[in-house]
Amino acid sequence: MKFRFFGGADEVGGLAVMLEDGFGKVMFDYGLIPRDPPIYPLQAPPVDEIVLTHAHVDHSGMIPWLTSRYPVKVHGTMPTKDVGRLLMLDSIKVAKMEGFPEPYEPGDVDDAMKLFQVERFGHAFEIGGTEFIPRMAGHIPGAAMHEIRADRNVLFTGDIHTAETRLVHGAEDVKTDVMVVESTYAGREHPDRKKTESELVDRVNEIVGRGGQAILPAFAVGRTQELLMILGKTGLNIWVDGMGRKVNAIYNRSRDYVSSATDLRKACVSAYEVETNEDRYHSDRADVIVTTSGMLDGGPALGYIERIKNDPKSGILISGFQVEESNGYRLLSTGHLEINGVLEKINCEVSRFDLSAHAGHSEIVSFVNRCDPETVILVHGDGDKRKLLADEFDGRKVFMPKKGDSLEL
């Protein structure tokens, strides 16, 4: 079997890995890294079928580009299809707003959706006579690892989280011979999640108790819903704004893909969905606002922050990963935010909580050991950090490919 790494090997995001074997050429994910300008995967040669692990743009963002050239089947779960569609259309909008060439058109997204073959966890599908089985990956609702029952079994993890969160169960162990595994958090651990959740609830209660408002910038996919579930029982007046509202609706009809459909529904119903600018004008009525964008590079979050930035009673509580060039990273490191093109000093409280949707270093190590592969291929990680993981796998063959590499096993 031959692997070719078109993206996301020695970088976090933009995953695109082709596996060629007796079943043909299958592309796993084809994502973009949403930077300024976006980073695209290398151009792919013709492929026979596409397998998508989950909806995040760094895995799905360039699928319409690929299917517009090679109109082949795209396999993925229902939430991956529905949320993926939203994010693909959003990528076009973002490119337009930021003045980058649009990588494809809305019609290409529609065409990609027509090629989608909806798969379910534990139910095998066939490509070229070989069984592929989607397995629960944790991470976000609908995220799948793919087990390939070839001469040697391969497990392609995509993004994983092995711990149970409010929103999803952890990744399931799958015995395999070859494992292509993400290494986003190589060399880094997460704090105890339950403890982090209760610290977050305490901070929110304290802010509201002293008469302030808590703004929680959140990724639309996964984090918005998880925050609503964490804060659902506080009895506070919680508002939700941004694309997370549409994702709420999708996850509420994806009952089999969330850990508790009832808890999710209750949390979504108890939050007030902001619909109009009129609503936003009256946002001082809210105790808590959960809103995009998660890295503060746009979205309604900045408008809300503009209103509370000089109020020492209020606070901004960041819970998502902030890439170095993001506005959120700037806020955490310098106390300033760019709002409408102007650099502003933020004088309210700013706190940070780690609620990652990825497995931490030791979680990846134990997961790999439980799956017990002979060969481990580390992808989706910072070039050098992956070595810290590689050092943990004595007795297994470990590869750390770079973008553009091929690997024959």
In the complex, the smallest distance separating the C-beta of residue 171 from Zn ion, rounded to whole angstroms, is 13
* Rounded least distance, CB 60 to Zn ion, Å: 9
Q: Is 57 or 236 the residue whose CB approaches Zn ion more closely?
A: 57
Q: Which listed residue (4, 5, 7, 56) binds Zn ion by CB under 5 A? A: 56
Task: State which residue, 14 or 232, has the beta carbon closest to Zn ion.
Answer: 14
Nearer to Zn ion by C-beta: 11 or 159?
A: 159
Among the listed ranges 51-59, 108-116, 265-273, 290-298, the one in contact with Zn ion (CB under 5 A) is 51-59
Nearest-approach distance from CB 159 to Zn ion, in angstroms: 4
Cβ-based nearer residue to Zn ion, 239 or 321: 321
CB of 184 to Zn ion, least distance (A): 9
Give dist(CA 6, CA 404) in Å, integer: 5
d(CA 156, CA 329): 31
Q: How far apart are CA 363 and CA 360, in angstroms?
A: 5
- Shortest separation between residue 145's beta carbon and Zn ion, angstroms: 12
Stretch that binds Zn ion, among 38-46, 48-56, 104-112, 342-350 (CB under 5 A): 48-56
- Tell me the HSE value of 89 on the side-chain side, using a 13 A CA sphere: 12
Residue 34 sits at φ, ψ, to 5 deg, of -75, 80
How many positions of this chain bind Zn ion (CB under 5 A)? 2
Concatenating the DSSP letter of every residue in 239-270 gives EEESTHHHHHHHHHT-GGGSS-HHHHHHHHHH
Pick from 11, 147, 159, 226 the residue near Zn ion by CB under 5 A: 159
Q: With contacts defined by CB under 5 A, name the span among 42-50, 56-64, 72-80, 329-337 that binds Zn ion.
A: 56-64
Min dist. Cβ of residue 146 to Zn ion (A) = 15
Q: Quick one: 33 or 267, whose CB is closer to Zn ion?
A: 33
Q: Which is nearer to Zn ion, 147 or 159 (CB)?
A: 159
**Which token pair is 253?**
């009809």
Shortest distance, position 222 Cβ to Zn ion, whole Å: 8
Q: How far apart are CA 360 and CA 348, in angstroms?
A: 31
* CB burial readout 379-395, b (16+ within 10 A) else e: bbbeeebbbbbbebbee
Q: Which is nearer to Zn ion, 30 or 304 (CB)?
A: 30
How far, in Å, CA of 167 to CA of 159, rounded?
A: 15
Question: Of 328, 279, 333, 337, whose CA–CA distance to 310 is shortest?
Answer: 337
Amino acid at 240: V
Per CB under 5 A, 226 contacts Zn ion? no
Smallest separation (angstroms) from Zn ion to the CB of 13: 8
Smallest distance from the beta carbon of 334 to Zn ion, in angstroms?
28
Tokens describing residue 155:
């497990």
**Binding to Zn ion, residues 59-78 (CB under 5 A):** none
Q: Site map for Zn ion, 286-305, x if CB under 5 A? A: --------------------
Q: Which residues of 125-160 are buried (b: 16+ CB within 10 A; e: fewer)?
A: bebeebebbbbbbbbbbbbbbbbbebeebbbbbbbb
238 vs 378, which CB is nearer to Zn ion?
378
Q: How near is the Cβ of 54 to Zn ion at its closest, in Å?
A: 6
Q: Judged by CB under 5 A, which stretch of 151-159, 279-287, 340-348, 370-378 contacts Zn ion?
A: 151-159
Of the pair 159, 297, the CB lying nearest Zn ion is at 159
CA dihedral 314, 319, 324, 326 (to 10 degrees): -60
Is residue 165 a contact partner of residue 230, using CB atoms and an 8 Å limit? no
Q: Residue 25 or residue 85: which is nearer to Zn ion going by CB?
A: 85
Q: C-alpha angle 387/363/396, rounded to 5°?
A: 50
- Contact residues toward Zn ion (CB under 5 A) are 56, 159
